């Protein structure tokens, strides 16, 4: 139940981070004021009462010292009580607010400033006097209402000579002046606390603005982004964490924008690549329907072209599916220990005859003692097939293609190189050779080689990277091209 109430309060009454931060600082300020007022107020009133007691005690002891010789004379019958009264009146003539009463050692009153003697001291009428008798320090205190209804502080002190009690002087002081001063001090303290609280609240408001502004900006940018504007970016502002968040958002937005661009390019390229064979098939079917079926030689040629284009479509679709699975990490396959030397020999055997048919000399050079790899053997073979087939396709008759396997530094990787002495690739084309459907206009693929889908090198790149390796190309126009792949060995 409390959880629901808490959720309702924050979601309905305080929906924004700015409001919650300001309220938190305001609550801290209010709690601080209350605590300061309680503890400081208690201390101020206690200090005021202690000061009042100290002052009254000083007067009581001073008056007791002055009365001591007179009380001795009174006890010996040498003076009457009027002398004692005159002495007290003279002592307290500058303190009209002070009430005084002089008691004898038995507790009976002798002198009172009002002129009317109070009843004899007991615990009910004068507890401070009884306290002075019982206290080792010879004084007692009490707080109660006086005859005029005002609250008074009373202090009684013994008047002694050696160990003999001569009497007790009791002084009464109204508490209102001392409490008024304490209340004024407390008021000043509370005013200062309120000013400090206002300062804290203002600081909290500024801090909340500083924290909330980048979040609001990020939210607005994200809303624009969600509406399809992929060019918007967040300006890094605020705290270090908010700047890092803005940088991370901008990086994510940039990558997403690039992915969307690549996806659009991919769709456009795929549509273009699929349109060509479909157009050929459509035209040949229309020609057959228009009468070419009646001419066996033409019909056979058209059907052969249709079959080639269908095979090309099948290869392209299969390559697209394979590439999508590999890029999504869904085509890992079984992981085995792989000897690249054995795969290189198998690939050489397969392509040597094909290369000879088109007049290309295929060579194999495998370094001995190569370390093993761990990965999917079918996929690694496909890398060999795609690189070698690409090299043979664009190497002119009489040219040469080399398959080289070399160990890396410290035998931590194995490097595959496929070199040809074909026409080479211009520098401006090199960064694009591993893009999907990209075909460099460096020459014409030879007759007899199957027409590619434009995905072979992209698939090879995806396989190599999924195995933790790197792939690249180097080329000089007129001198040939080297495709290389570096794969990590089993440690």
Percent of the chain with pLDDT over 70: 85
Tokens encoding 23: 């309220």
The Cα 173–Cα 406 span in angstroms is: 108
Stated as kind and residue range, the H or E segment containing 401 is strand 400-407
DSSP assignment letter at 292: G
Average pLDDT over residues 376-399: 89
CA distance linking residue 312 with residue 472, whole number of Å: 26
Q: Specify the pLDDT at position 17.
A: 58
Q: Can you tell me which residue has the tokens 């609240």?
A: 201
- The reported pLDDT for the residue numbered 447 is 44
Tens-digit pLDDT profile for residues 239-258: 787 788 888 888 888 888 87
The span from the first CA to the last CA of the chain, in angstroms, equals 59
- CA 91 to CA 260: how far, in whole Å? 101
Instruction: Say yes or no: do domains 240-324 and 333-488 share a fold.
Output: no
Over residues 407-432, the pLDDT tens digits come to: 877 778 899 999 999 898 888 888 88
What pTM does this model have?
Answer: 0.49
Residue 24 Cα to chain centre, angstroms:
19
Instruction: Tell me: pLDDT of 141 over 60.
Output: yes
- Provide CB contacts within 8 A for 224, sequence distance 6+: 232
Predicted confidence (pLDDT) at residue 156 exceeds the cutoff of 90: yes
> What burial class does residue 418 get, using C-beta atoms within 10 Å of its C-beta: 0-12 exposed, 13-18 middle, 19+ buried?
buried
- Determine contact, residues 130/103, Cβ cutoff 8 Å: no
- Per DSSP (E only), the strands in 228-360 are 336-338
Q: Where are the beta strands (DSSP E) in 302-360?
A: 336-338
d(CA 310, CA 316): 10
Kindly state the average pLDDT of the residues 262-289. 74
Distance CA 159, CA 69 (A): 10
Residue spans of the domains in the chain: they are 21-180, 240-324, 333-488
User: Is residue 332 scored above 60 in pLDDT?
Assistant: no
Enter the DSSP assignment of 123.
T
Do the strands 413-420 and 400-407 form a parallel or antiparallel pair, or are they unpaired?
antiparallel
Helices 296-327/240-289 angle, 10° precision: 170
Between 87 and 204, the higher pLDDT residue: 87
Strands 400-407 and 361-366, by their bridges, are parallel
**Domain with residues 333-488, CATH architecture:** 2-Layer Sandwich (3.30)
In the predicted model, what is the mean pLDDT of residues 6-16?
50
Contact 306, 289 (CB under 8 A): no
- What integer is the mean pLDDT of 444-450? 49
pLDDT tens digits for 63-109?
Answer: 988 988 898 888 888 888 888 889 888 888 888 889 999 999 888 99
For domain 240-324, is the CATH number 1.10.287.130? yes
Give the model's confidence band at 5: pLDDT under 50 very low, under 70 low, under 90 confident, else very high.
very low
Give the residue with greater pLDDT, 17 vs 8: 17
Give the residue-averaged pLDDT of 116-142: 88
Q: Name the superfamily (CATH) of residues 21-180.
A: PAS domain (3.30.450.20)
User: Residue 401: what pLDDT?
Assistant: 94
């Amino acid at each position: 139940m409390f959880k629901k109430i808490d959720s309702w309060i924050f979601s309905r009454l305080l929906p924004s981070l700015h409001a919650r931060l300001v309220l938190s600082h305001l609550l801290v300020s209010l709690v601080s004021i209350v605590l300061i007022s309680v503890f400081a107020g208690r201390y101020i009133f206690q200090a005021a009462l202690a000061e009042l007691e100290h002052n009254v005690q000083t007067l009581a002891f001073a008056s007791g010292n002055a009365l001591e010789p007179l009380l001795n004379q009174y006890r010996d019958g040498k003076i009457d009580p009027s002398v004692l009264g005159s002495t007290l009146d003279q002592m307290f003539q500058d303190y009209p607010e002070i009430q005084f009463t002089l008691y004898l050692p038995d507790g009976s009153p002798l002198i009172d400033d009002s002129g009317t003697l109070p009843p004899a001291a007991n615990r009910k009428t004068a507890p401070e006097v009884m306290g002075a008798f019982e206290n080792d320090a010879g004084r007692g205190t009490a707080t109660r209402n006086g005859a005029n209804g005002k609250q008074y502080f009373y202090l009684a002190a013994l008047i002694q000579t050696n160990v003999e009690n001569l009497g007790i002087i009791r002084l009464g002081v109204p508490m209102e002046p001392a409490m008024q001063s304490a209340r004024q001090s407390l008021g000043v303290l509370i005013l200062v606390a309120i000013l400090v609280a206002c300062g804290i609240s203002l600081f909290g408001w500024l801090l909340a603005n500083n924290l909330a502004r980048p979040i609001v900006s990020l939210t607005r940018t994200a809303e624009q982004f969600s509406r399809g504007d992929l060019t918007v970016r967040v300006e890094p502002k605020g705290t270090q964490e908010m700047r890092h968040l803005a940088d991370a958002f901008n990086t994510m937005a940039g990558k997403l924008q690039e992915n969307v661009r690549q996806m659009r390019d991919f769709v456009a390229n795929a549509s273009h690549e699929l349109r060509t064979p479909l157009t050929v098939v459509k035209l040949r079917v229309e020609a057959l329907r228009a009468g070419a079926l009646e001419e066996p030689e033409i019909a056979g040629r058209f059907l052969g072209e249709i079959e080639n284009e269908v095979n090309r479509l099948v290869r392209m679709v299969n390559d697209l599916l394979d590439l999508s699975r590999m890029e999504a990490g869904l085509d890992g396959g079984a992981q085995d220990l792989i000897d690249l030397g054995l795969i290189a020999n198998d690939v050489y055997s397969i392509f040597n005859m094909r290369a000879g048919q088109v007049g290309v000399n295929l060579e194999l050079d495998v370094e001995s003692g190569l370390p093993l790899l761990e990965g999917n053997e079918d996929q690694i073979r496909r890398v060999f097939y795609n690189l070698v087939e690409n090299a043979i396709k664009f190497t002119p008759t009489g040219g040469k293609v080399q398959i080289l396997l070399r160990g890396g530094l410290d035998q931590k990787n194995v490097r595959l190189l496929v070199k040809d002495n074909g026409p080479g690739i211009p520098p401006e084309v090199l960064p694009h050779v591993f893009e999907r459907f990209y075909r460099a206009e460096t020459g014409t693929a030879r007759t007899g080689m199957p027409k590619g889908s434009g995905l072979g090198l992209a698939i090879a790149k995806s396989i190599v990277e999924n195995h933790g390796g790197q792939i690249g190309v180097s080329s000089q126009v007129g001198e040939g091209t080297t495709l290389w792949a570096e794969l990590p060995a089993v440690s």
